[in-house]
Amino acid sequence: MSREKRQYDGQYAFWLTKKKRDFTAQGYYNVSQEDIWNYFEYYSWKNDRPDHYFAAISDILSLTPNEYFNYATLKAQIHDVKDMNDYDLSKLF
């Protein structure tokens, strides 16, 4: 299958919305459909995207908050690193 990144689109919108509602029901209110889509695009399916639509849907529906937040933690540690000069440390004293 082609390795081009697909945007979050209508093809998976229903299933991503369903998964978002599952997360919300468990108390995780700040996870969006796009966040879930990015988990699959850039982490879970990074090297091996499912060949079939039903397999992708199965992956989406089986995602647990623990799996998602492991990814979010890793992403925050790697991608959101700021220079120390960007922090206002004056409030610490």
% of the chain surpassing 90 pLDDT: 63
Per-residue pLDDT, averaged over 21-45, amounts to 95
Kindly give the residue spans of alpha helices, DSSP state H, lying in the chain: 10-25, 33-39, 53-62, 65-79
pTM of the model: 0.75
Q: How does residue 7 score in pLDDT terms, banded at 50, 70 and 90?
A: low
Q: How does residue 5 score in pLDDT terms, banded at 50, 70 and 90?
A: low
| pLDDT above 50: residue 3 | no
Q: How does residue 76 score in pLDDT terms, banded at 50, 70 and 90?
A: confident
Given the structure tokens 């960007």, which residue do they identify? Answer: 86
d(CA 63, CA 77): 21
d(CA 65, CA 62): 10
